[in-house]
Amino acid sequence: MKPAWFDYHAPDNLEDALVLLGDAGIDGRVLAGGQSLMPMLNMRIVTPSVLVDINQIASLNSLQAGPDELRVGALVRHADLMRNPAVREGWPLLAEASNQIAHRTIRNRGTVCGSIAHNDPAAEHPSLLVTLDGTVVAASAGGRREIPAEDFFDGMMSTSLEPGEMVVEVRYPRPRKGACFGFAEFARRLGDFAIAGAAVMATMNGGVCEQARLTIIGMGDGPFRARAAETVLAGSTLDAVAITAAADEVRSAVDPGEDVHGSSSYRRHLAGVMTERALEQAMTRARGDGNG
Amino acid sequence: MADTRFVNQKMVGTSVVPDEAIPLVEGEGRFLNDIRLPGMYHAAFLRSQHAHARILSIDAGAARQMPGVIQVMTGKEMLGKVDPFESMPNRFSGGQSTQHWLAVEKVRFVGEAVCVVVAEDRAIAEDAIDLIEVEYDPLPAVTDPRLGEKDDAPLVHETCPNNYLIKRDYERGNVDEAFEKAHLVVKRAFSIGRKQALCLEGRGCVAAYRESAFTLTMWMSHQLPYVVRHYLAKHLRLGEHEVRVIAPHTGGGFGQKASIYPEEFVCAHLALGLRRPVKWVEDRLENMVASTHARDQQIELAAAVDDQGRILALDSNVWVDVGAYSTYLWSAGMEPLQTAGLMPGPYQIEALRYVTRGVATNKTPVGPYRAVGRPSASASLELLIDDAARRLDIDPVEMRLRNLIPGEKMPYRNANNLVHDNVNYVPCLKLTAAKAEYDKLRAEQAQASDNGKLRGIGVACFAELTGLGTSTAVGPGTLLQPGRDAVTLRLETTGVLTIAAALPSQGQRIMTAMTQVAADELGIKLSDITGLTNDTAMAPYGFGTFASRTAVFGSGAVIKAARELRRRILALAAHLMEVPETDLTIVDSVVQTVDRAKTMTLREMTDQSYFSAKHIPEDLNPGFEVTSFYDPKFGSFAAGAHTVVVDVDPQTGHVEIVRYVAAEDVGTIINPAVVEGQIIGGIAQGIGEALMEELVYDADGQPKTVTLADYTIPSALEIPTIELHHANTPSAALGGFKGCGEGSIIGAVGAVACAVADALNRNGGDITAFPATPERVLTGLGVLPTDS
Amino acid sequence: MAREKTIQVTVNGRAFEKTVSVRRSLADFIREDLHYTGTHLGCEHGVCGACTVSMNGRSVRSCLTLAVQADGAEITTIEGLRNEDGTRHPIQQAFLEGFALQCGYCTPGFLITAIEFLEENPDPTEAEVREALSGNLCRCSGYQAIVDAVMSMSGKPAPENA
Ligand SMILES: Cc1cc2nc3c(=O)[nH]c(=O)nc-3n(C[C@H](O)[C@H](O)[C@H](O)COP(=O)(O)OP(=O)(O)OC[C@H]3O[C@@H](n4cnc5c(N)ncnc54)[C@H](O)[C@@H]3O)c2cc1C
Ligand code: FES
Ligand code: FES
């Protein structure tokens, strides 16, 4: 179980990295935390001929929580994100959900942007980005572009990144006042990829949900935005009836794949249960401090 | 009766901190992959991606040309040079299989080795593998034993009609009559998925030509060095004396490393040809498909029960999906025969009937794994007992008490012809129930829960036949019928005692146990005892570590050898000290008169005997070396009873173990902390077996669980704190020892299965297929459709 | 493009300069090139934790890190845990006396992970210990003795070396 040959580059600035990636085209891969790429290399599931290791590019190791948004550079590790006080305070959904991502040692290396670029359908970050209405900043030798989360993910382990392009940063707008979060996921063991999960951000005003963003994890095609359920929730008080109705909408909307951890019908069922649990959390928080 | 006397018992029964563990905790263990010889090459195997196919052609041209590649070999090229693995005819029906070390003509499971590449390093060998082109003609695969036994099923081996590698019909006692007169007949189906022993370290070997005085020296991650030596010699057509086998530190065995596999034998063959050391280290992807699997049984069980809840007869049908070949040495009979044959467990069963089959399929062969057969046998019977108890409105514990073999009936011969003696079945059950406050648990269970969870309670009892001697066959059809095992004790020139035995430890601290026994028998300080093990060039003959036999054999042989050695020491000391032998004893490595008036350290004595031998009469041998063989003749039963409390989440199907109380009878305990580790480790594996672990294949025979992310074993979060209690009684073996390596996994599978079923039964559901994955639990509760 | 690269690493306090194949994992580098074989490989895909080492003060999977990525790094493996006088690190001693290893194959990963965890949380609850160790698999022990050994360190001064 040893990787096939590749050419290895470890540029110390972004410009060089982008040139190398541009030259390599579809044969090139970014090496970030390596927590998903290295297993695939070891197993020879992927055999890129060029690896561009971005770990030496100090400018990518930047985590900034501003008044309007949170900017997470391509070298920010899961561990950095979940421990950052400004993130815990302003984007508690990110910090909380991170605890379900793998284990401490893997979180020490794995990056947020790597998760997003990898788009494993059972991973948390792609769905969190959609829930929080974030944006991906992609760069190539030809320039930069900003891609709204929902346009970025396009199918199982696939994104709208072009060959030669990489994620340099992801941005999360600061949640509006009154935003309440809920996150629930089910996996066989803590740290395993989710069989199903749900992330919700509900914006409450005077006890009424103005808007909800609800994303389901683990359904096979990357983040699944549950729009029908969101419609049901908008205008409700996140009461039991609304929650049940939202969960029903989720169950009828999702079309999960299956693997050794769960059949399609089990995943569909769980999607409903996780929706209920995430919404109950959000509701509890809404009734508590209305912020959290 | 049990001989439990020690000359001077101080150490036996003490949790002596094992010196053996020091290198391991300091990072200085020597595992197989740590061995590196000058000029060593590395092997990698091309493996079949097909479950069943004819090999049309193999083109290894490009691989042979690759720089760094030393040799590429196919099965055809090896034909006639070595002897393939032929399973042995047994006295039951079923055909035989021939397993070539590298597939010739046909591949029969995904992962079967087809070609080997030897290269300068492993990565290059893998590069070369990628260049080899094999053309296959796919054949229909057999993937379900119930379909595979049909007359029109494709055949895995032409030599095995109906794909039976073994089929046995058994009846003893009057089964029909029992069912006719029964007050109640209960029936239950039970199935359990395929398992992987999942040693954290895979298999591996370093095969070296003329590395020492031997033609072939073989380092191998294995439980049975002498057995490996025997078969290497046989199949490579060498003299057994030309082969040396060393088992280095081994990262788990659990039976998976007790079988004989092709890969290591291929490496040995290549090393002899190349006259260079060849190393192969099985990686995890290989291990998941190339090392034996386990379990994979389907059971249909019926019991005839009288109105008092007494079981009158058992009648079972067993199918085991044994995979593509009859596992070498142990045969395909292991799981089928033990599952059905040991079904009665610790219960008084007077009439027994079964039909059991090992059906060949196009999957990885099934071999021994901790407690072969019995976890399923026990779990299916325990579930059936719960069913009967419910129908008769008898408490499950009470029902078990009425059926367990009580002490006053021992020795008791069961319908499977095994004799139970010196074993505490009833006390174990009473102890676990008392410690768990069973009645209180049931009372609490009857109250509605406020956490939305469904509570289940399971109690299971088990019997574990350990330390099998020559009079009890390990299994019909196995090539290996172990005999006696030996230990050599040698008092070195320094007065230090060396213990040598071919009983490798995969963490069981066998040498520590033998050291403790020797210390007590001889009166030698622990710090004056060292151990040598695992090397056929240094240890006397022994069959190795498997079937919970090692502590019994090793300690028994130590006792025998120590008594002889002590006799010799005292004879010489009497001469040197000029006192009668009968006045002497040995305490803390000092020979002394009972009144301590005269003393002589062992060191002083060995000094004289080795280096001033002229003062020693000829009949008093200066050498202090004794080899003793020991055979306990019959096995001895260990036992236990476990109580498990679970909470089932009816929304996700998740099962959480909230309490685990085990009571065990493991005979005389040598090292309590070591025993506790064995028991708790077995329970953890049993929890994994009952709830989490399953190797999945699709209908074409493609494995779906090929990584540790797919095959989920418990982490520290899935295993609760285990409360462990003892109700020990000595066995009839020397020292009163019993084995404790396997039993607890049996109790765990049974108790956890019963607890989950209890939670479901009380809520209108049931579960018959294990592991009780969340999805199966929800299906059992009717939350999910059954066909999901 | 060169398939080899010369790197400088400090392992267990000793500085090395070595030329390595770019595809060599840190685990293979430490084991095969530096002969620190105390770090073990149980899966080579990140799940088992046996290969865990400390790199620049953080635990990492050495099977999921390339040797070339360790250029300039400070690494501690199980061999580097012992105290300067050669005695065992307190947690090694706790593992030994607490019977927290059977086959010992998982031990290097548990020790490195536990040391990092205890530095952050010197006085943990049992639940916290179990969670912190949940990325390390042990097939032999059932975890109880390992958890107890780590708990026995609770409240003791933070270990020095790793
Ligand atoms: C045992 C284990 C358990 C895990 N459990 C979970 C889990 O529960 N949930 C979860 O979400 N993840 C889990 N992971 C994965 C982990 O979170 C990874 O860190 C993450 O998915 C990928 O991040 P990385 O930085 O390691 O990316 P890498 O492994 O370096 O890269 C992954 C892929 O993304 C590409 N890539 C990386 N960064 C960029 C970039 N900036 N621009 C463009 N492409 C890029 C790479 O080329 C590669 O194709 C687990 C991993 C392991 C080993
Ligand atoms: S070997 Fe690295 S995690 Fe298993
Ligand atoms: S002690 Fe063997 S894997 Fe942990």
Which of C28, C60, C68 faces A109 most closely, judged by CB atoms? C60
Among B124, B214, B257, B255, which Cα is nearest to B547's? B255
User: Does residue A11 share a domain with residue A78?
Assistant: no
The answer to whether the Cβ–Cβ distance between C45 and A106 falls below 8 Å is no
Q: What confidence tier does A39 reach under pLDDT thresholds 50, 70, 90?
A: very high
Q: Are strands B769-770 and B184-196 parallel, antiparallel or unpaired?
A: parallel
Is 50 exceeded by the pLDDT of residue B701? Answer: yes
Sign of CA dihedral B292, B293, B294, B295: negative
The answer to whether the Cβ–Cβ distance between B683 and C38 falls below 8 Å is no
| CATH number, residue A199 | 3.30.390.50
Q: What confidence tier does B385 reach under pLDDT thresholds 50, 70, 90?
A: very high
The 10s digit of each residue's pLDDT in B649-660 is: 999 999 999 999
| CATH number, residue A25 | 3.30.43.10
**What per-residue confidence (pLDDT) applies to B4?**
47
Q: What is the CATH number of domain B19-30+484-492+504-630?
A: 3.30.365.10
Is 50 exceeded by the pLDDT of residue B624? Answer: yes
Which of A2, A43, A264 faces B122 most closely, judged by CB atoms? A2
Q: Are strands B655-665 and B636-648 parallel, antiparallel or unpaired?
A: antiparallel
Among B652, B399, C156, which Cα is nearest to A187's? B652
Q: Using a 6 Å cutoff on CB, does residue C141 contact ligand 3?
A: yes
| Domain limits, chain C | 4-80, 90-154
CA distance B767 to B505: 38
Q: Using a 6 Å cutoff on CB, does residue C73 contact ligand 3?
A: no
Q: What confidence tier does A221 reach under pLDDT thresholds 50, 70, 90?
A: confident
User: Does residue A269 share a domain with residue A222?
Assistant: yes
Q: Using a 6 Å cutoff on CB, does residue A185 contact ligand 1?
A: no
What letter represents residue B660's amino acid? Y
Percent of chain B residues past pLDDT 90, beyond the cut? 86
Instruction: Quote the domain boundaries for residue A31.
Output: 7-53
Q: What is the mean pLDDT of residues A125-138?
A: 98
**What per-residue confidence (pLDDT) applies to B220?**
97
Evaluate whether C4-80 and C90-154 have a shared fold: no
Among B296, B305, B293, which Cα is nearest to B188's? B305
| Domain limits, chain B | 19-30+484-492+504-630, 36-139+198-290, 293-404+418-472+633-780
Domain count of the fold of chain A:
3
Contact residues, chain C, for A105 at CB < 8 Å = 49, 52, 59-61, 113, 135
Q: What is the CATH number of domain B293-404+418-472+633-780?
A: 3.30.365.10
Number of Cβ within a 10 Å radius of residue B198: 24
Alpha helices in C20-143 (DSSP H): 26-28, 90-97, 107-120, 126-132
Which of C101, C130, C139 faces B713 most closely, judged by CB atoms? C139
The answer to whether the Cβ–Cβ distance between A188 and B712 falls below 8 Å is yes
Name the domain boundary from A172, A206, A226. Answer: A172
Look at B30-44, B475-489, B559-573 and tell me which has the smallest mean pLDDT.
B475-489
Atom of ligand 2 nearest to the CA of C49: 3
Asked if the C-beta of A39 comes within 8 angstroms of chain C's C-beta atoms, the answer is yes
Nearest residue in C to A44, CA atom: C45
Is omega for the bond preceding B411 within 30 degrees of 0, making it cis? yes
Interface test with B, best of C89, C106, C143 (most B CBs within 10 A): C143
**What per-residue confidence (pLDDT) applies to A268?**
97
CA distance A198 to A131: 10
Q: What is the distance of C-alpha B766 from the center of its chain?
A: 31
Q: What is the CATH number of domain C4-80?
A: 3.10.20.30
ipTM of the complex: 0.96
CA distance C10 to B458: 54
User: Does residue A205 share a domain with residue A225?
Assistant: yes
| CATH number, residue A113 | 3.30.465.10
Name the domain boundary from A172, A193, A227. Answer: A172
Q: What is the mean pLDDT of residues A23-27?
A: 95
B475 CB-near residues (< 8 Å, 6+ apart) = B330, B331, B333, B334, B337, B338
Complete edge-to-edge strand list for the sheet that includes strand B133-138: B106-107, B53-59, B133-138
The bound ligand whose nearest atom lies closest to the alpha carbon of B201 is 3
CA distance A210 to A187: 31
Q: What confidence tier does B787 reach under pLDDT thresholds 50, 70, 90?
A: low
Q: What confidence tier does B788 reach under pLDDT thresholds 50, 70, 90?
A: very low
User: Does residue A211 share a domain with residue A146?
Assistant: no
Distance from CA of A270 to the nearest CA of B (A): 6
Q: What confidence tier does B620 reach under pLDDT thresholds 50, 70, 90?
A: confident
Is 90 exceeded by the pLDDT of residue B542? Answer: no
Q: Could you tell me the two tokens for B113? A: 């080795």
Q: What is the mean pLDDT of residues C15-33?
A: 98
Distance from CA of B359 to the nearest CA of A (A): 24
Higher pLDDT, B614 or C24: C24
Q: What confidence tier does B5 reach under pLDDT thresholds 50, 70, 90?
A: low
Per the CB < 8 A criterion, the answer to whether B25 and B209 are in contact is no
Among B716, B714, B768, B767, which Cα is nearest to B745's? B714
Is 70 exceeded by the pLDDT of residue C93? Answer: yes
The bound ligand whose nearest atom lies closest to the alpha carbon of C142 is 3
Distance from CA of C8 to the nearest CA of B (A): 23
> What is the DSSP-derived secondary structure letter of residue A162?
P
Q: Per the domain annotation, does A205 fall within a domain?
A: yes
**What per-residue confidence (pLDDT) applies to B449?**
78
Q: Using a 6 Å cutoff on CB, does residue A115 contact ligand 1?
A: yes
Class level of CATH domain B36-139+198-290: alpha beta
Q: What is the mean pLDDT of residues C129-137?
A: 97
The answer to whether the Cβ–Cβ distance between B285 and A269 falls below 8 Å is no
CA distance B670 to B738: 10
**What per-residue confidence (pLDDT) applies to A107?**
98
**What per-residue confidence (pLDDT) applies to B394?**
98
Nearest residue in C to B370, CA atom: C140
Sign of CA dihedral B410, B416, B417, B422: negative
Q: Which residue's CA is minimally distant from atom 28 of ligand 1?
A: A34
What's the CA-to-centroid distance between B506 and ligand 3, angstroms?
9
The 10s digit of each residue's pLDDT in C48-65 is: 999 999 999 999 999 999
The 10s digit of each residue's pLDDT in B306-362 is: 999 999 999 999 999 999 999 998 899 999 999 999 999 999 999 999 999 999 999
Q: What confidence tier does A289 reach under pLDDT thresholds 50, 70, 90?
A: low
**What per-residue confidence (pLDDT) applies to B2?**
40
Q: Per the domain annotation, does A1 fall within a domain?
A: no
User: Does residue A257 share a domain with residue A191?
Assistant: yes
User: Which residue in this structure is represented by tokens 């011969």?
Assistant: B413
Q: Which residues line ligand 2 (CB under 6 A)?
A: C 41-44, 46-51, 61, 63
The 10s digit of each residue's pLDDT in B432-491 is: 999 999 999 999 999 977 889 999 999 999 999 888 877 776 666 677 777 788 999 999
Look at B94-98, B454-458, C104-108 and tell me which has the smallest mean pLDDT.
B94-98
Q: What is the residue-averaged pLDDT of chain C?
A: 95
**What per-residue confidence (pLDDT) applies to B476?**
61
Which of C69, C113, C135 faces A102 most closely, judged by CB atoms? C135
**What per-residue confidence (pLDDT) applies to C159?**
52
Asked if the C-beta of C132 comes within 8 angstroms of chain A's C-beta atoms, the answer is yes
**What per-residue confidence (pLDDT) applies to B451?**
86
Interface test with A, best of C41, C44, C66 (most A CBs within 10 A): C66
Is 90 exceeded by the pLDDT of residue B647? Answer: yes
Complete edge-to-edge strand list for the sheet that includes strand A135-140: A63-65, A69-73, A166-173, A135-140, A143-148
Higher pLDDT, B543 or B482: B543
Q: What confidence tier does B10 reach under pLDDT thresholds 50, 70, 90?
A: confident
**What per-residue confidence (pLDDT) applies to A291?**
45
User: In the 3-class helix/strand/coil scheme, how is B695-735 assigned residue by residue?
Assistant: ECECCCCCECCCCCCCCCCCCCCCCCCCEEEECCCCCCCEC
The answer to whether the Cβ–Cβ distance between A3 and C46 falls below 8 Å is no
Q: Which residue's CA is minimally distant from atom 3 of ligand 3?
A: C138
Is 90 exceeded by the pLDDT of residue B675? Answer: yes
Whether CATH 1.10.150.120 fits C90-154: yes
**What per-residue confidence (pLDDT) applies to B474?**
63
**What per-residue confidence (pLDDT) applies to C17?**
98
Among B677, B696, B496, which Cα is nearest to B602's? B496
pTM over 0.95: yes
Is 90 exceeded by the pLDDT of residue A217? Answer: yes
Q: What confidence tier does A171 reach under pLDDT thresholds 50, 70, 90?
A: very high
User: Does residue A249 share a domain with residue A203?
Assistant: yes
Q: What is the mean pLDDT of residues A164-192?
A: 95
Name the domain boundary from A124, A157, A172. Answer: A172
Is 60 exceeded by the pLDDT of residue B710? Answer: yes
What's the CA-to-centroid distance between C81 and ligand 2, angstroms?
20
Q: Using a 6 Å cutoff on CB, does residue C139 contact ligand 3?
A: yes
Q: Could you tell me the two tokens for B367? A: 């071999």
The 10s digit of each residue's pLDDT in A94-116 is: 999 999 999 999 999 999 999 99
Q: What is the residue-averaged pLDDT of chain B?
A: 94
Burial of A288 from C-beta contacts in 10 A (0-12 / 13-18 / 19+): exposed
CA distance B261 to B258: 9
Q: What is the mean pLDDT of residues C7-25?
A: 98
Q: What is the mean pLDDT of residues C4-17?
A: 97
Asked if the C-beta of C63 comes within 8 angstroms of chain A's C-beta atoms, the answer is yes
Q: Give residues 61 to 100 of C whose Cβ lies within 8 Å of B.
A: 77-79, 81-82, 88, 92, 95-97, 99
**What per-residue confidence (pLDDT) applies to C161?**
47
The answer to whether the Cβ–Cβ distance between A190 and B715 falls below 8 Å is yes
Is 80 exceeded by the pLDDT of residue A123? Answer: yes
Evaluate whether B19-30+484-492+504-630 and B293-404+418-472+633-780 have a shared fold: yes
What's the CA-to-centroid distance between C36 and ligand 1, angstroms?
28
